[in-house]
Chains A and B, each alone.
Chain A
Amino acid sequence: MDIRKIANLARLELTDDEAARYEPQLEQILHHVEQLKKVNIEGIEPTAHATPIFDVIREDVTHGESFTQEEALANAPAVVQGQIKMPKVVE
């Protein structure tokens, strides 16, 4: 496993210490899951959900209460002029 590549895909910055600790642990877990390769899955359908639930459809109308702008922004790390403020990320 290329742990730096995976960490980048996962948007996680890893310290050298973390990378050195996680890599053998993850390799060990992957070694354990190798056993699934022995299982005969020929013709078996995958299970995504334990209970067969199909599309649930409703009218496209607002139900019940909605957040006010203030409530929607209450947990934001930084707010300016009623909007979430971000550090500058584009030049």
Chain B
Amino acid sequence: MNPAELSISQLRAAYQSGDLNPADAINSLTEAIVAKDDAIGGYLSYDTETALAEAAAADISLPLGGVPIAIKDLINVKGHPASCASKILDGKYTAPYDATVIRKLREAGAIPFGRANMDEFAMGSSNENSGIKPCKNPHDLNRIPGGSSGGSAAVVAANTAIAALGSDTGGSIRQPASHCGVVGLKPTYGRVSRYGLVAFASSLDQIGPLTKSVEDAALLLEVIAGSDAKDSTCLDEPVPKYSEFVGQDIKGLKVGLPKEYFAEGLHPLVKERVEKAIQYLESQGAETVEISLPNTEHAVATYYIIATAEASANLARFDGVRYGHRTSESPQDPEDNKLIYHYKHSRAEGFGDEVKRRILLGTYVLSSGYADEYYKRAQKVRTLIRDDFSNAFEQVDVIASPVAPTPAFKVGEKSTDPLAMYLADIYTISTNLAGICGISVPCGTVSEDGSDLPVGLQLLGKPLGEADILKVGAVVEAGQKS
């Protein structure tokens, strides 16, 4: 038994039976990382020694006792680096505190192990925007793993992690999960505390699990979810035992199929895999209903106004004063304002292209004379997008759709065309604008250039409807094995 290849539930069973101990898992993962990760680039760093010390002290009777979890490099783990895959923080920042999700993981006995690669500050859909190094798709090293949680998805898919945490602002958990053939869940906005998550777009960001099974996603979610005094947007609602919904039947459950998500632009073979998974749900007693989300066509435009506006404000904190990169240049021109020069050069030297573009766009849409035209208007269209989902969920229990319009594309294919990259987020972006929950579950592969590329089925649930999407997701997963 190779521990690195196990799921959380399998690893826990092996601990309980005495076949394995937590140090075996850390050692096995380290061997797997050494063997595979140079080619994949899923990790920015890892610390076997610290993890082994934690493994020696692990209490395997706890819900995640001794289970190593890879952490996207924008979640603070005390004593670990957190670079957000940006040169502005790389080698210059060690987290001085634990994020709430890390505190909860530790209380459940888990071991944070490994810093997963990502697009810089979570801005991207391909991991090509990592400021440190690219991450590749383990199913085809010439292709992107998706993004922004590309590292989190790749390490789970490559069996160089048991499971991982990522974050999802517009699809950043679900899309890489789909491209890498793993399960990825984006919780309802406010279900999981954002305290200790480096902010990209605060009204859209959520932390969630990327795992080898739906059951594992449930096991992680039931640990990390719940209210937090340190995040005022975190909902004070009871946390169900999500894992109990895995394996329940779906007879009579209504599944909505948004016609806008099956329209032109969807790769025919992706469509076929998704439709086959939906047919399996029907065979298991679910009832499908065609629905409409009429404002879908406006989602990408709305998102890229709101997300960049929030990002431009959030990233103002990187000023070369208190932490992060500081320029060593000083103004030569006596007319230059020295403080502004300091800010502009520190930031310009630290941030990569996509981060700069988004800060510029966000600054523009918030600037005097344009804020009403762009930002205010986008917030109103956001209301319409949210209403689309509220209306749909009066008719159906969950919504099923593709995650991404195509399988993982080739490295470099879209990297010079930001708009083309943004448009590929069409099926995942509305979820964040509406604040609802969503999961990507593998539903087959598409063969391209001799590689079998995974495809995910997306299931969207009502606010706090994680139990529903996990229940249906587990049926999809079972259908793949049957």
Query: For residue A65, which residue of chain B has the nearest CB?
Result: B97
Quick one: which of A1-47 are within 8 Å of B by CB? 1, 3, 6-14, 18, 21-22, 25-26, 28-30, 32-33, 35-37, 39, 41, 44-47
Of all chain A residues, which has the CB nearest B384? A44
Q: What residue in chain B is nearest A7 (Cβ atoms)?
A: B360
B379 CB, min distance to chain A CBs, angstroms: 3
Given A14-B348, A50-B433; A41-B326 close (CB under 8 Å): no
- Give the residues from 216 to 261 in chain B that come closer than 8 angstroms, CB to CB, to chain A: 229, 232-233, 235
Give Cα A30 to B235, complex, Å.
35
Interface flag for B463 (CB, 8 Å) = yes
CA distance A1 to B480 in the complex (A): 50
- What residue in chain B is nearest A56 (Cβ atoms)? B232
Assess A39 versus B342: contact at CB under 8 Å? Given A12-B348, A47-B379: no
Sorting the interface of chain A by its residue count into under 10, 10 to 19, 20 to 34 or 35 or more gives: 35 or more
Other-chain contact of A9, B97, B356, B367 (Cβ < 8 Å): B367
B298 / chain A contacts, CB cutoff of 8 Å: 35-36, 39
Q: When the two chains form their complex, are residues B338 and A29 in contact, meaning their CB atoms are under 8 A apart? A: no
Any chain B CB within 8 A of the CB of A90?
yes
Q: Which residues of A contact B384 (CB under 8 A)?
A: 39, 41, 44
Chain B residue, CB-CB nearest to A55: B232
- Could you say which residues of chain B place their CB within 8 Å of the CB of A49? 189, 203, 233, 435
CB distance from B123 to the nearest CB of A (A): 13
Asked if B363 contacts A50 (CB within 8 A), the reply is no
In the complex, what distance in Å separates the CA atom of A6 from the CA atom of B369?
A: 13
- In whole angstroms, how far apart are the Cα atoms of A14 and B356 in the complex? 9
Contact A6 B92 (CB under 8 A): no
Q: Are A25 and B418 in contact, CB atoms less than 8 angstroms apart?
A: yes
Pick the contact of B322 from A29, A30, A44, A75 — CB < 8 Å? A75
| B364 lies within 8 A of chain A by Cβ | yes
Complex contacts, A29 vs chain B, CB 8 Å: 304, 361, 418-419, 422
Cα of A22 to Cα of B348 in the assembled complex, Å? 14
Residue of B nearest to A75 (CB): B323
Q: Are A33 and B374 in contact (CB under 8 A)?
A: yes
Q: Known contacts A11-B340, A45-B383, A89-B342: does B359 contact A36 (CB below 8 Å)?
A: no
Distance (whole angstroms) from the CB of A32 to the closest CB of chain B: 6
How many contacting A-B pairs (Cβ < 8 A)?
A: 173
Q: Which residues of B contact A51 (CB under 8 A)?
A: 188-190, 233, 235, 435, 463
* Contact between A89 and B339, CB atoms less than 8 A apart: yes
Q: What are the interface flags for B367-404 relative to A under an 8 Å C-beta threshold, 1 for contact and 0 otherwise? A: 10000001011111111101000000000000000000
Is A87 interfacial (CB-CB < 8 Å)?
yes
Considering the complex, which residues of chain B in the window 415-453 have a beta carbon less than 8 Å from any beta carbon of chain A?
418-419, 422, 432-436
Q: Which residues of A contact B326 (CB under 8 A)?
A: 77-78
Interface centre among A7, A8, A63, A67 (most CB of B within 10 A): A7
The answer to whether residues A9 and B348 also contact, given A47-B379, A58-B229 and a CB cut-off of 8 A, is: no
Inter-subunit contact B302/A36 (CB<8 Å): yes
- Is the CB of B344 closer than 8 A to any CB of chain A? yes
Q: Which residues of the partner chain B approach A84 to less than 8 Å between Cβ atoms?
A: 321-322
Chain B residues contacting A46 (CB-CB under 8 Å) are: 376, 379-380, 382-383
Residues of A within 8 A of B232 (CB): 53, 56
Say yes or no: is B269 at the interface (Cβ < 8 Å to chain A): no
Q: Is the CB of A39 within 8 A of B381?
A: yes
B63 near A: Cβ within 8 Å?
no
Q: Does B50 contact A (CB under 8 A)?
A: no
- Indicate if B292 sits at the interface (CB-CB under 8 A): no
Give CA–CA (A90, B338) in the complex, Å. 7
Q: Indicate whether B207 reaches chain A with its CB closer than 8 angstroms.
A: no
In the complex, whether B121 has a CB less than 8 A from a CB of chain A is: no
Q: Evaluate contact between A32 and B94: CB separation under 8 angstroms.
A: no
> Which 6 pairs of residues, A with B, have the shortest CB-CB distance?
A50-B435, A46-B379, A75-B323, A77-B326, A13-B348, A13-B344
- Write the residues of chain A forming the contact surface with B, with a CB cutoff of 8 angstroms: 1, 3, 6-14, 18, 21-22, 25-26, 28-30, 32-33, 35-37, 39, 41, 44-51, 53, 56, 58, 63, 67, 71-72, 74-78, 84, 86-90
Instruction: List residues of chain B with CB under 8 Å of any chain A CB.
Output: 92-94, 96-97, 188-190, 203-204, 229, 232-233, 235, 295, 297-298, 300-302, 304-305, 312, 316, 319-326, 330, 338-340, 342-345, 347-348, 351, 353, 356-357, 359-364, 367, 374, 376-384, 386, 418-419, 422, 432-436, 463
6 new A-B contacts at CB < 8 Å, known A29-B418, A39-B377, A84-B322: A18-B356, A35-B301, A46-B382, A51-B463, A72-B96, A87-B330
21 A-B pairs with CB atoms under 8 Å apart are: A3-B360, A7-B360, A10-B360, A11-B340, A12-B344, A12-B347, A13-B345, A18-B356, A21-B353, A29-B304, A29-B418, A29-B422, A39-B384, A44-B381, A46-B380, A47-B383, A53-B190, A53-B232, A86-B342, A87-B330, A89-B342
